[in-house]
Homo-oligomer: A and B are copies of this chain.
Amino acid sequence: MTEFERAVEAVLFAAHEPLSPDEIARHVGEGDVGAALATLAERFIGHGIDLVTRGGRWHFQTAPDLAHLLRRTREEPRRLSRAATECLAIIAYHEPVTRAEIEAIRGVQISRGTIDVLMEAGWARTAGRRESPGRPLLYATTPDFLSHFGLGSRRDLPGIDDLKAAGLLDPLDEEALALSLESAGDED
């Protein structure tokens, strides 16, 4: 395999979209891009991936007979909204806890769907009722919650001092975090 072919292969692999020979040439410089593409395409015959051309643009794609391994829909796992993340954190730190208590700690009401999302994700569960007027439902986290977040037990949650030292207890960063949590639209 020539250095030039190696370069063409790497550029196509790293590209975000199919590339025309001209676009490839802009990255790899002098050389016969067409010939390199032909050699590469032949080399990948029989592999799990093919080098193919569509409308003059080249890209790697999974061999058609292996398409069943691929995602069927373009739908990606959804990010937990900020409200749901806060709600989950409160449950984890205070469980077992009622909805009213979650709202009191959060200082903001939570919408109906928020806890449902956590239960659907398999991270929160109901944990009986509190023996107080109205017998409100209690919520707690699940073993899946611990394993998803890499915690051995709830005792491994960072304490307030840890959060503070790590710079995670600071309203100044609220904007940055809000961006990172990128509300998924079910914000309340």
Contacts and interface: CB of A to CB of B under 8 A. Distances in A.
A69 B7 contact: yes
A148 interface: no
Contact of A69 (B10, B46, B125): B10
A116 B166 contact: yes
A10 B165 contact: no
B137 A62 contact: no
A73 B166 contact: no
Contacts of A10: 48-49, 62-63, 66, 69-70
Contact of A166 (B5, B46, B115): B115
A52 interface: no
A112 B117 CA distance: 32
B99 A9 contact: no
Identical chains bound together, number: 2
Contacts of A174: none
Interface in A71-117: 71, 73, 99, 109-117
Q: Contact residue range for chain A?
A: 35 or more
A135 B155 CA distance: 10
A147 to B, nearest CB: 13
B166 A119 contact: yes
A150 interface: yes
A159 B152 CA distance: 31
A175 interface: no
Contacts of A158: 126, 137
26 contacts: A1-B47, A5-B48, A6-B46, A6-B47, A6-B48, A6-B66, A7-B66, A7-B69, A8-B48, A10-B70, A14-B62, A14-B71, A27-B69, A27-B73, A28-B69, A99-B162, A99-B165, A110-B165, A114-B166, A114-B167, A116-B167, A116-B168, A119-B166, A128-B156, A137-B156, A137-B159
